[in-house]
């Protein structure tokens, strides 16, 4: 069943995609019951990193905005969660036996700063995990896209933001924990019951599925059609009357909010957050996941993040130069598989090609009636 709007076909959720997704989801549900605690923790982390890569794919793969700033959004959400868990750590478990976090005591603070104290309460912290990265993205996005900054200049700005915030967070040791970040946080609990590792895994898995479904729905809708069209020919879409900047700001802000939630889930899993995830190196890793997996595929960046994570884990046992292996993989993909790993799948199995609408710049209205069609046929002259 499908709808035809302005010359392109918009399909409903394909049965084949639903069947494949259901089988894969079932395997992920069974996974924690057949592996050990280390693999469970590793897979949880890789799912979060993969979800972060999917959020970048929304702005780079579909809209054409190459960003190194998604580590920033991830880290801002992570710090909001870390403050909540650290402030709710019992006094007995704190290094100095008080409610004030240890890194604040080390730096001479005697009371919680006013802008951190409210994060002790879960509703405030939950809103902050989403709102802080989203607000930061909205401000930076409004500046960039309303000023019609595009192309490589956006990439340069995001690199500069990443470097600047890394330096800032490291320098504000009394409030951020400096280079070490916020460590030894309490475990995540609900109504006093601590969530076990398998519970965190299923929470992360549910969020990953949510982001994939949301991303698929957005990119297959009329909104997604405009995003693809902006990527293909931004000037032409602007001439058609669309507010290109508004579309970019919206997807940029939404992507940041989703990345912030991923960062918020990362903290109770790994029990820390630090400025290392603000750095350019981590932002580059996210870009590599999307490039290797395949831009504009959604599932590709998720698969690439999990595969490279497993490669890194195995390579670290052999050599400390695991980055060299990842670099070689990236070089191979760029040279021989420019469209990413998902392009290797047959078209019958490629999830990225299902219901993919044509950009507006390539569509022609089917309901338009030309002047030639409205002209009556000339009467035949009688002999």
* Amino acid 365: pLDDT: 45
| Cβ atoms within 10 Å of 213's Cβ, excluding its own | 13
pLDDT for residue 122 is more than 80: yes
* Amino acid 359: pLDDT: 58
Q: At what angle do helices 280-293 and 299-316 cross, to 10 degrees?
A: 120
Q: Which residues contact 30 (CB under 8 A, 6 or more apart)?
A: none
* Amino acid 372: pLDDT: 41
Average of per-residue pLDDT across 120-146: 96
Nearest one of 36, 70, 39 to 53, comparing CA atoms: 70
- Report pLDDT digits (tens) over 349-376: 545 444 455 556 555 444 333 434 444 4
* Amino acid 334: pLDDT: 78
pLDDT for residue 9 is more than 80: no
Nearest one of 300, 303, 306 to 351, comparing CA atoms: 300
pLDDT for residue 10 is more than 80: no
What whole-number distance in Å separates Cα of residue 179 and Cα of residue 127?
A: 26
* Amino acid 377: pLDDT: 47
Q: Where are the domains of the chain?
A: 2-358
- Report pLDDT digits (tens) over 56-109: 999 999 999 999 999 999 999 999 999 999 988 765 466 555 678 888 888 888
pLDDT band at 241 (very low <50, low <70, confident <90, very high): confident
* Amino acid 90: pLDDT: 60
Do residues 317 and 73 lie in contact, with contact meaning Cβ atoms separated by under 8 Å? no
- Top pLDDT among 189 and 327 is at 189
pLDDT for residue 7 is more than 90: no
* Amino acid 17: pLDDT: 72
Burial 242-281 (b: 16+ CB within 10 A, else e): bebbebbbbbbbbbbbbbbbbbbbbbbbebbbbbbbbbbe
Paired tokens of 95: 């290094």
Q: Which residues contact 33 (CB under 8 A, 6 or more apart)?
A: none
- Top pLDDT among 235 and 261 is at 261
Which residues are paired to 3 by β-bridges?
10
* Amino acid 153: pLDDT: 92
What whole-number distance in Å separates Cα of residue 39 and Cα of residue 314?
A: 12
Burial 113-130 (b: 16+ CB within 10 A, else e): eeebebbeeeebbbebbb
Q: At what angle do helices 244-270 and 122-146 cross, to 10 degrees?
A: 140
What whole-number distance in Å separates Cα of residue 379 and Cα of residue 112?
A: 91
């Amino acid at each position: 069943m499908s709808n035809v709007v302005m010359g392109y076909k918009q399909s409903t959720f394909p049965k084949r995609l639903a069947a494949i997704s259901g089988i894969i989801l079932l395997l992920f549900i069974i996974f924690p019951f057949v592996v050990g605690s280390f693999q469970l923790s590793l897979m949880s982390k890789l799912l979060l990193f993969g979800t972060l890569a999917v959020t970048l794919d929304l702005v780079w793969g579909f809209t054409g905005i190459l960003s190194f700033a998604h580590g920033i959004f991830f880290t801002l959400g992570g710090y909001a969660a870390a403050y909540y868990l650290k402030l709710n750590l019992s006094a007995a478990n704190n290094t100095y036996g008080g409610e004030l976090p240890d890194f604040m005591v080390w730096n001479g603070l005697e009371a919680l700063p006013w802008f951190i104290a409210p994060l002790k309460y879960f509703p405030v912290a939950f809103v902050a995990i989403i709102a802080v990265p989203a607000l930061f993205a909205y401000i930076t996005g409004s500046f960039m896209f309303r000023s019609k900054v595009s192309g490589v200049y956006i990439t340069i700005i995001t690199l500069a933001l990443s470097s600047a915030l890394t330096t800032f967070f490291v320098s504000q040791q009394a409030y951020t924990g400096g280079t070490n970040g916020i460590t030894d946080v309490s475990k995540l609990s609900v109504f006093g019951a601590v969530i076990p590792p398998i519970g965190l895994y299923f929470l992360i898995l549910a969020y990953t599925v949510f982001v994939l479904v949301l991303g698929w729905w957005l990119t297959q809708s009329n909104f997604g059609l405009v995003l693809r069209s902006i990527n293909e020919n931004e000037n032409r879409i602007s001439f058609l009357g669309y507010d290109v900047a508004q579309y970019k700001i919206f997807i940029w802000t939404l992507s940041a909010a989703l990345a912030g939630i991923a960062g918020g889930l990362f903290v109770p899993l790994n029990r820390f957050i630090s400025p290392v995830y603000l750095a350019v190196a981590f932002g580059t890793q996210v870009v590599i996941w999307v490039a290797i997996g395949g831009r504009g595929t959604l599932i590709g960046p998720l698969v690439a993040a999990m595969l490279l994570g497993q490669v890194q884990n195995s390579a670290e046992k052999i050599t400390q130069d695991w980055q060299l292996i990842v670099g070689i993989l990236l070089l191979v993909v760029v040279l021989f598989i420019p469209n990413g790993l998902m392009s290797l799948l047959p078209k019958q199995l490629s999830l990225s090609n299902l219901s993919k609408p044509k950009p507006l710049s390539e569509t022609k209205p089917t309901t338009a009636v030309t002047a030639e069609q409205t002209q009556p046929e000339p009467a035949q002259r009688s002999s």
